[in-house]
A = this chain, B = another copy of it.
Amino acid sequence: MKGCSFGREGEKSLKETFSEISPSDFFYRNRDLAGFTNPARALYSTVRELVENSLDACELESILPEVYVRITAYDPLEEAEPKKYVIRVQDNGPGVEPERLPEAFGKVLYGSKYKLRQSRGMFGLGGTMAILYGQITSNKPVTIETSVDGVKRYYYKLMIDIEKNKPIIVEKKVGEGNGLRGTVVELVMEGDYFRSSTKIQEYFKQTALVVPYANITFIEPSGKIFYFLRTTTEMPPPPKETLPHPHGIDVEFMRRTIRQSSDESLAKFLSKRFHRVGLKTAIKFLQYAGIDPNRSPKSLSDEEIVNMVSAMHRYEEFLPPDAGCLSPLGENILAAGIVKELAPEFFTIVTRPPSAYSGYPFIVEVALAYGGKILENGIKLYRFANRIPLLYDEASDVSWKVIHEEIDWKRYRIPQDAPIAVIVNISSTRIPYKTVGKEYIADRPEIERELKNALRETLRKLSAYLSRRSSEEHEKKKINMYLKYLPLIANFSKELAKKSRPPNYKRLLSKGEEEERQKKIEEFTDS
C-alpha cells in the first residue's frame, strides 16, 4: 500500500490528538447536515431559511406578511454554474432589536426559537448557516437592515468568526426609518440556480398554498417575477408558548427547573411550571409518587428527582397536552389549495383530534385527492410541517412509511397506481425532525398512529366514491344498451304482434334515471 503524501513535513504521528471546535465550526465542517450539501441545495436552503424567518417574525405579531425575495447573478456576464448569486429577502415584520442583531445573525446556537411554541424555525441555526455558507463561498459580509419602530433604521455589515463562533461587525450605520418596519437580509453566495430552480419555485408555490394570507414576490435571476398574492386577510392567531407537559420531561430538565425556581413547596412548584398541572393535580400526583407536597423542591436528593420524574411518566391522570396553542391549516385553506393546484375529480379532508407525543401536542391533517388535473398514475405526496413544505428525502418520512408500508390498499379496492395525491400537514410545538435541514419527520408511534387513522378515513371515503362512480357508470352503460336495443326489440315485438305502434319503452328508461337520482340523494343523506 502506498502511503499518502503528507507534504514535506514528513510523517505525522498517529498518536491521538484532541481538539475542541466551536458549534459554528462544527456546522461549517459538516454543512451537509443542515441542508448545505452542494451549490444547488445551498441556494434552496438559503431562500427557505430566510423566508421562514420572515414568516415566523410576521406571524408572531399578526402582521400580514409581505415577503420579497430576489436572486440575481453577482456577475451578470458569468454564465457557468455554479456561480455567485446575490440573495435578498425583505419583510415587513417586527424587525430585530439592534443590540441583539449581530449575535442573532452571526452566532450559531443563539436565537429566539428555543421555546415551546409552534414555529417554522426550531434549531436557531438556519439563518446563520445561510450567512456562514455565503461567507465561506464568497468571503463577502452579509448586509442586514432592520427597523423595529419605523423611526430609526439600522444597517449592519457582518462577518462570522467561525472558530470563535461570534459576529464581527464590519460596518454599522443608523438612518431614517421612514415609517417602515421589518428586516432585509442580503448576502452573496455560490449557488446553482439552474439545478435548484424547480425546487425553489415548487417551494414558493407550496408555501403560498399554506400561507394564503401572505404576499410573496419572487424574482429569479432571469428577471422573471413570480407573484403569490394573498387570497385572505384572515391570519392564524399568533403562536403561544406553552409550559412543558409532565409526560415529556427528563431528569436534566427537572434539575434545571428546580435550580431556577424559588417555590416553597413541591405542589406549588409543579403547578406553576408544568402544562396541565393545577394545584389539585399536583397534590394528587405527589401523593401517588409518595412525596410530601409541602417539601421544598430544592430539598430533593438526586435519587428522589429521578423517582419523581419516572413517576410523572407513569402517572396517567395528567390531562393530555392542550392543543389550543397550535394552528393547523384548517379545511378551508386546504380545500382552496387543493382545488386551485390539483383540480381533482374528488377530494376529502380529515383533521384528527389533537394528540401528543412525549408531552408535545400535535395535530394531523390529511387530504386525499383523486383524478382531475393529477394526470400521472401513482401516489403523489405533499408534506407540510408547521406550514413548511418539505421537499427532500420523502422516502424516509413517517408519512411515506404509513402510505407505503402500513396501509393495505387492496382493502379499499384502490389500486396503488390510481391517480392520487395525499397532502399531509403536521402542526406541533416541536416537530420531531430527524435532520437539522428539516427534510423529514421521525416515525414517532403516536404520529404514525394518527396519520394512519386519518389516511384510512380518507381512503374509505375515496373507496365509497369510486364504487358509487363505478355503479353509476354501470347504470349508464345499461341505459345506453337499452337505448340501443329497446327500440329494435319494441319494433320487432310490434311486428310479431302485428300491432301498428311499438310499446312505450321510453317509460322504462326514464324510470332507470329516476332510480339513480333517488340513490344519489340517499347516499348524500347517509354521509
Contact = CB atoms under 8 A, between A and B. Distances in A.
Interface of A: 1-9, 12, 14, 16-23, 25-26, 28-30, 32-33, 37-38, 57, 60-61, 94, 96-97, 100, 103-104, 107, 109-112, 114, 123-124, 135-139, 162-163, 237-238, 240-243, 250-253, 256, 271-276, 302-303, 305-306, 322, 324-325, 327, 393, 395-396, 400, 432-437, 439-440, 442, 444
18 contacts: A1-B327, A3-B240, A3-B325, A4-B240, A4-B241, A6-B242, A7-B243, A7-B271, A7-B272, A12-B241, A30-B436, A33-B435, A37-B444, A135-B251, A138-B306, A139-B302, A393-B434, A434-B437
A6 B243 contact: yes
B9 A272 contact: yes
A contacts with B: majority SS: loop
A17 B94 CA distance: 13
A237 B100 contact: no
B28 A60 contact: no
A472 B170 CA distance: 77
B32 A241 contact: no
A16 to B, nearest CB: 4
A16 B183 CA distance: 14
B107 A8 contact: no
A395 B404 CA distance: 12
Given A251-B137, A432-B32, A434-B33, A275 B20 contact: no
A112 B16 contact: yes
Given A18-B112, A37-B442, A256 B324 contact: no
Contacts of A20: 103, 107, 109-110
A114 B302 contact: no
Q: Copies per complex? A: 2
A135 B222 CA distance: 54
Contacts of A256: 163
Contacts of A61: 14
A109 B9 contact: no
A181 to B, nearest CB: 13
Given A4-B322, A396-B396, 16 more contacts: A4-B241, A4-B325, A5-B276, A6-B241, A16-B96, A19-B112, A23-B23, A33-B435, A33-B436, A135-B252, A136-B251, A139-B303, A139-B305, A139-B306, A393-B434, A436-B436
A2 B28 CA distance: 42
Contacts of A21: 109-110, 114, 124
A57 B102 CA distance: 41
A433 B19 contact: no
Contacts of A439: 434
7 closest pairs, A vs B, by CB? Answer: A395-B395, A2-B324, A4-B325, A396-B396, A136-B252, A20-B110, A16-B112
Contacts of A16: 57, 60, 94, 96-97, 112
B137 A26 contact: no
Contacts of A6: 240-243
B324 A110 contact: no
Contact of A250 (B25, B38, B97, B137): B137
A30 B123 contact: yes
Contact of A22 (B109, B271, B432): B109
A32 B433 contact: yes
Contact of A4 (B272, B275, B303): B275
A250 to B, nearest CB: 5
A361 to B, nearest CB: 9
Contacts of A440: 396
A123 B436 CA distance: 14
A311 to B, nearest CB: 14
Contacts of A274: 7
Contacts of A5: 242-243, 275-276, 322
A3 B1 CA distance: 68
A412 to B, nearest CB: 24
B111 A18 contact: yes
A103 B173 CA distance: 42
Contacts of A135: 251-252
Nearest to A97: B16
Contacts of A4: 240-242, 275, 322, 324-325
A57 B14 CA distance: 11
A241 B10 CA distance: 12
